[in-house]
């Protein structure tokens, strides 16, 4: 009898974390590595939020809390949804978890039976299909061409839905493409979903605050209130508040679903860190004035990287609406040979070549379900970005054929 569960054979460890680990290893071995693979803001957690955590510790808030989050944090999440998204939720419709990641995972454990299908627009965040597989479900990736700006067309969604479809996962702005669905895009998606009342939507709004050029963020339950009863809206403090290490995410949806997710959390991790919850209350209720300046910095970096990459022979980099990623095509370098005489046949070959030859760590598109592309995270300084793009440029010009 095998010791490890069969489902583990279907699951891959996170490729983005693997690249980051390899880059760290090469760096430790003395190589000059520039890593553009991490998915977190390079700003510190704002001071008022840090102070709230310190004060909570001093007050003795160091014990278990309610397993799915303190009422004050649930209320703060309700306030956020009302203020920013025009959505009405009660605290009993909110769950607080160890990051948005656990919210998504709890929802899947709570709802997916073997063989249930989950439609996932590609390119997708690497963890969605793996979570579905861990729940014995079937991920159904839907590819859409770059000329649609990396956004799923309603007709492609319609074609992917079967009687077994349980969820559609939406992620806007997207990791890895940075593409964001405008209101009209969401209306197109919503029209399809209204025709398929058995399909629920899990919307991952983690990058909500990182949108540029006057893009107006909207979330699907706000755009189509008739979907409210079958939408789980997921958000968190990691990206907007520079709190990736604190591990607080939250989800809002129908009470019955939220209760089921709580039952899972109460028997697995129980409450997220009490101190992080105090910090997250301050994040959601406190001053929001640092968010716009951060977004301005990210926009400048995005413009720099898009401009530099579009000068590189063989690469084409669209301008995304949000997040801190670009997802250039490397179709123009496929079939070329490296100075060492190896042919670049895939985006995976290309990123390996970049890492080995130039020390630049990026993630291959195949990991996100859409090739031939690669993902660059521009959540780092402009000096690092300039250096990385110069190295990528040299590497692409150094090909022998």
Ligand X SMILES: Cc1ncc(COP(=O)(O)O)c(C=O)c1O
The residue ranges that bind ligand X (CB under 6 A) are 39, 99-101, 125, 171, 175, 204, 206, 236, 238, 244, 249
Nearest distance in Å: CB 280, ligand X: 11
Eight-state DSSP code of residue 45? P
Nearest distance in Å: CB 85, ligand X: 17
Rank residues 98 and 371 by Cβ distance to ligand X and give the closer one. Answer: 98
Question: What is the C-alpha to C-alpha distance for residues 380 and 378, in angstroms, rounded to an integer?
Answer: 5
Question: What is the C-alpha to C-alpha distance for residues 108 and 99, in angstroms, rounded to an integer?
Answer: 15
Provide DSSP, 144-209.
--GGGTT---HHHHHHH--TTEEEEEEESS-TTT-----HHHHHHHHHHHHT-TT-EEEEE-TTTT
Question: What is the C-alpha to C-alpha distance for residues 367 and 346, in angstroms, rounded to an integer?
Answer: 12
Dihedral over alpha carbons 129, 133, 135, 138 (to 10 degrees): 80
Nearest distance in Å: CB 276, ligand X: 11
Nearest distance in Å: CB 18, ligand X: 14
Structure tokens at 194: 């209204």
Rank residues 181 and 353 by Cβ distance to ligand X and give the closer one. Answer: 181
Tally: H helices and E strands in the chain: 13, 12
Peptide bond into 280 cis (omega under 30): no
3-class secondary-structure state, position 335 = coil
- Pick from 202, 201, 277: which is nearest to 234 by CA? 202
**Residue whose C-beta lies closest to ligand X:** 99
Rank residues 89 and 241 by Cβ distance to ligand X and give the closer one. Answer: 241
Rank residues 242 and 278 by Cβ distance to ligand X and give the closer one. Answer: 242
228, 219 contact by CB (below 8 A): no
Rank residues 161 and 206 by Cβ distance to ligand X and give the closer one. Answer: 206
Q: What are phi and psi of 374, to 5 degrees?
A: -145, 155
Nearest distance in Å: CB 95, ligand X: 13
Dihedral over alpha carbons 392, 394, 400, 401 (to 10 degrees): 60
Nearest distance in Å: CB 126, ligand X: 9
Nearest distance in Å: CB 112, ligand X: 18
Structure tokens at 187: 């209306």
Rank residues 100 and 137 by Cβ distance to ligand X and give the closer one. Answer: 100
Question: What is the C-alpha to C-alpha distance for residues 120 and 152, in angstroms, rounded to an integer?
Answer: 10
Nearest distance in Å: CB 129, ligand X: 13
Task: Let me know how long the chain is.
Answer: 401
Rank residues 111 and 377 by Cβ distance to ligand X and give the closer one. Answer: 377
Rank residues 248 and 258 by Cβ distance to ligand X and give the closer one. Answer: 248
Rank residues 264 and 333 by Cβ distance to ligand X and give the closer one. Answer: 264
Nearest distance in Å: CB 147, ligand X: 23
Structure tokens at 45: 């957690």
Eight-state DSSP code of residue 289? T
Nearest distance in Å: CB 174, ligand X: 7
234, 206 contact by CB (below 8 A): yes
Rank residues 135 and 308 by Cβ distance to ligand X and give the closer one. Answer: 135
């Amino acid at each position: 009898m095998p010791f490890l569960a069969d489902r583990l054979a279907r699951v891959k460890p996170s490729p983005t974390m693997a690249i980051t680990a390899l880059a760290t290893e090469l760096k430790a071995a003395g190589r000059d590595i520039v890593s553009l693979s991490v998915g977190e803001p390079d700003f510190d957690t704002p001071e008022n939020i840090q102070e709230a955590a310190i004060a909570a510790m001093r007050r003795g808030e160091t014990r278990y809390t309610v397993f799915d989050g303190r009422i004050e944090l649930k209320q703060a999440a309700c306030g956020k949804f009302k203020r920013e998204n025009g959505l009405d939720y009660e605290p009993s419709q909110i769950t607080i978890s160890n990051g948005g990641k656990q919210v998504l995972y709890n929802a899947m454990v709570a709802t997916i039976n073997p063989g249930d299908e989950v439609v996932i627009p590609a390119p997708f965040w690497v963890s969605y299909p793996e979570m579905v597989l861990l729940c014995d479900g079937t991920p159904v990736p839907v590819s859409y061409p770059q000329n649609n700006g990396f956004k799923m067309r309603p007709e492609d969604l319609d074609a992917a839905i079967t009687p077994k479809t349980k969820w559609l996962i939406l992620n806007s702005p997207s990791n890895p493409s940075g593409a964001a669905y405008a209101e009209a895009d969401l209306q197109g998606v919503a029209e399809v979903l209204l025709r398929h009342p058995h399909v629920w939507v899990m919307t991952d709004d983690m990058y909500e605050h990182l949108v540029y050029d006057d893009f107006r963020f909207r979330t699907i339950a706000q755009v189509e209130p008739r979907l409210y009863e079958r939408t789980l809206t997921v958000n968190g403090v990691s990206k907007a508040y520079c709190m990736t290490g604190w591990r607080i995410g939250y989800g809002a949806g129908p009470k019955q679903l939220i209760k089921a997710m709580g039952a899972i959390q109460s028997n697995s991790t129980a409450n997220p860190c009490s101190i992080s919850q105090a910090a997250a209350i301050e994040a959601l209720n406190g001053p929001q004035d640092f968010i716009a300046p951060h977004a301005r910095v990210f926009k400048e970096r995005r413009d720099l990287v898009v401009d530099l990459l579009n000068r590189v022979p063989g690469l084409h980099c669209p301008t995304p609406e949000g997040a801190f990623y670009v997802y250039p095509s490397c179709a123009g370098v496929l079939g070329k040979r490296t100075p060492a005489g190896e042919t670049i046949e895939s985006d995976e070959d290309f990123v390996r070549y970049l890492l080995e030859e130039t020390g630049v760590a990026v993630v291959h598109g195949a990991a996100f379900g859409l090739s031939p592309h690669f993902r660059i995270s521009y959540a780092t300084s402009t000096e690092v970005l300039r250096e990385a793009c110069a190295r990528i440029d040299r590497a692409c010009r150094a090909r022998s054929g």
